[in-house]
Amino acid sequence: MPEVIQTYTPLWACLTALLAVIPILLLRKESFLREGATFVAGVVMLGFVISMVPEVLSGKVLECTLVQITEDVPIKFRVDGLGMLFALVASSLWIVTSLYSVGYMRGLKEHSQTRFFVFFAVSLTATMGVAFAGNLLTLYLFYEMLSLATWPLVTHHQDKEARGGGRKYLAYLLGTSVGFALPALIFCYVKASATGLEFSAAGFLAGTGIEGSVALVLLLLFTFGFSKAGLMPFHSWLPGAMVAPTPVSALLHAVAVVKVGVFCIIRVFTGVFGLEFLKTLDIAIVVSWIAAFTVITSSLIALTQDNLKRRLAFSTIGQLAYIILGVSLLEDRAVIGSMAHIAMHAVGKITLFMCAGAIFVATGKKYVSQMDGLGRKMPLTFIAFTIGALSVIGLPPTGGLISKFYLVTGAMDAGQPLLVTVFLVSTLLNAAYLLPIAYHAFFPKDRQLSSQPFSWKSTAEAPWAAVLPLCVTSILAIVLFLQPQVLLKLASLMVGDAG
């Protein structure tokens, strides 16, 4: 059993973003100060998170009980390797995304910018709450908070298309969580209330007598109930949410929403059931094949999308399914790869979405067919796009190679050659829908464009506040290839505990 330390640091990290709402509202007429408050909150939150890293890396667990809901079940924070990995990703990328939001929102003179930053901060509060949730009830409450906090961001433009996307967003996310995840939670409480629904390496359902078809139905209720993960057939809310501004898309796909979905499913596998208990039940393979179907199908759909953000949205659906497929294999390497891919995909995909936004701000273009030759006008943006694409595909010199290596070798360890093939075929599909965009941006098919000499004087990048963040995240994708040790250590702590 790991040593447990009682501390309120996880609470302070979670509250930092929520408290930032006050100065953001008070300074709404001073845009520079309002955005400054967002950055200060982001830096403070990251500081709190980093301060907990040494303790977690040493194998300790940090806990904090907030309030006792029932005699057995509290609202509780608990920081372990998986929670710390996710918190590091969310808190660090919040700062980068906030800077990008400034460049994007100002560049397009977007309305209601104060409301945007307020709900952005509330969304990060909910995300950190999920990351640090110590039991299933706490996880569920912050999961629902995130759905409600991000809805105003999805409907930001307030036109007919945005309202339609927002309705689908809430219908899918709340419908599945209330219809599937909540009944599963109640069932768990009836079966295992004495455990406080607290996550444990062995799984708090182990020893409760759950088996067979009942266990399978419960696992599927959780898997589909946390539909932020985008697993088919509960995925269409995600492309529909692309009506939101690009910074929101970056938040949805990298910093918060979809990563919360796969994070919750990993928690169910590792903390509710437990990997060893699932091996004895022999039911996880059902989830594996649902995820494999999602991986291939979403990649094929991505190939047909001309709208760049929709292509990236279907790419995200497939990449999330990688994570679910990996953890459902129940092998150490695959589970480590799933956890690491949360970070690797986040960095690569946020780069791609920020590039899409920068292209739109600078040129007004949002279709792949319009981007031939743009690499010569926006070289920094498209160099970053290329690096982000390499990370999502899983090619060197980016961190995506590390997580995909663990996923593929984990599938081999599990003795699943067909699922190894799924990983490899989908990687080729990833390359097919991403690399041609980068290639034709620099080497256009139009002979007239391709014959024009390149000159830095002719470049027309988006505002620096939109370009700098995507340069930072593209560099980070390379750094994670060169220095992945901390993330892999945090992920391996969970596997070690389970073993």
- Residue 28 binned pLDDT confidence (cut-offs 50, 70, 90): confident
Q: Taking every pair of C-alpha atoms in the chain, what is the biggest distance, in angstroms?
A: 74
Q: Which residue has the higher pLDDT, 168 or 51?
A: 51
499: pLDDT strictly greater than 60: no
Query: What is the average pLDDT across 32-54?
Result: 90
Q: Cis before residue 10, ω within 30 degrees of 0? A: no
HSE, CB side, 13 Å, CA atoms: give it for residue 246.
32
pLDDT of residue 101: 76
pLDDT of residue 160: 75
Question: What are the structure tokens assigned to 336, written together?
Answer: 């480590």
- Residue 229 binned pLDDT confidence (cut-offs 50, 70, 90): confident
The pLDDT tens digits for 94-129 are 888 888 777 666 665 666 678 888 888 898 999 999
| CA atoms of 147 and 170, how far apart (whole Å) | 7
Query: What is the average pLDDT across 251-276?
Result: 85
The pLDDT tens digits for 55-73 are 999 989 999 999 988 888 8
| Residue ranges in 62-211 assigned as alpha helix (H) | 81-107, 113-132, 136-154, 160-176, 182-192
Burial of 186 (0-12, 13-18, 19+ CB in 10 A): exposed
pLDDT of residue 117: 83
Three-state DSSP state, 76: strand
Three-state DSSP state, 199: coil
The pLDDT tens digits for 265-314 are 999 999 999 999 999 999 999 999 999 999 999 999 999 999 998 899 89
**Percent of the chain residues past pLDDT 70, beyond the cut:** 90
Q: Which position has the token pair 């906030």? A: 98
Give me the residue spans of the domains in the chain: 4-498
Q: What is the mean pLDDT of the chain?
A: 87
Is pTM beyond 0.85? Reply is yes
Query: What is the average pLDDT across 204-216?
Result: 87
pLDDT of residue 327: 94
| CA atoms of 343 and 480, how far apart (whole Å) | 9
| CA atoms of 300 and 81, how far apart (whole Å) | 34
| CA atoms of 423 and 404, how far apart (whole Å) | 8
| CA atoms of 28 and 109, how far apart (whole Å) | 15
**Crossing angle of helices 136-154/257-267, nearest 10°?**
160
Query: What is the average pLDDT across 418-428?
Result: 93
Burial of 145 (0-12, 13-18, 19+ CB in 10 A): middle
Q: Which residue has the higher pLDDT, 237 or 90?
A: 90
Of 8-12, 394-398, 451-455, 492-496, which gets the smallest average pLDDT?
451-455
150: pLDDT strictly greater than 90: no
CA distances from 87 to 26, 399, 428, 490 (A): 28, 18, 31, 11
Residues in the chain: 499
